[in-house]
Amino acid sequence: MNKLYVGKVVGTHGIKGEIKVYTEIEIKDKVFKEGTKLYFNDDDKEYTIEHVRFHKDNYLVLLKGFNNINDVLYLNKSKVYVNRDNFLNNSEYVIDDLLGFIVVDENENILGTIKDYEVNSSYATFLVEGDKNFYLPNVSNYVTKIDLENKKVYTKNVGDLML
């Protein structure tokens, strides 16, 4: 199975067995729905969302068959995954997929590698580490193409961003 990281269990909520999941994934509205199959850490055991709601920056998830806080305490601090094939096709990606991609300019010069990113309300900004480290906004003024097959991000006008 091809797992997609979607968040982390940051605690429990109440006594009825809800877990709090923090996520920054772009497709959260597709993932956090009743009936979605979740996986925790490296375990292939499948858990099904029975009920979900949003509360204070977290998703409160009730898993099918779990109705007591003591049943879910062992999931605290777990990484949460879904089956990638159920949510993305081969031409789709999430920002986390771009970590490690090579950044090149319009002349195919290698500028560096994407090491980290931050997401704000409008777009993601990549930390590119190379001869010169810089932040690259994921907007059409700077990013012209993302090549998933060759793991490259093509850019233009990045001279404006390098100090």
pLDDT at position 130 is: 93
- Which CATH superfamily groups domain 95-160? PRC-barrel domain (2.30.30.240)
pLDDT at position 163 is: 66
pTM of this prediction? 0.80
Which of the residues in the chain have pLDDT under 70? 163
pLDDT at position 102 is: 97
Tens-place pLDDT, residues 92-105? 999 999 999 999 99
Q: DSSP for the chain, please give it.
A: --EEEEEEEEEEETTTTEEEEE---TTHHHHSSTT-EEEETT----EEEEEEEEETTEEEEEETT--SHHHHGGGTT-EEEEEGGGT--TT---GGGGTTPEEE-TT--EEEEEEEEEE-SS-EEEEEESSS-EEEE-STTTEEEEETTTTEEEESSGGGT--
The CATH number of domain 3-86 is 3.40.50.1460: no
pLDDT at position 160 is: 75
Q: Where are the domains of the chain?
A: 3-86, 95-160
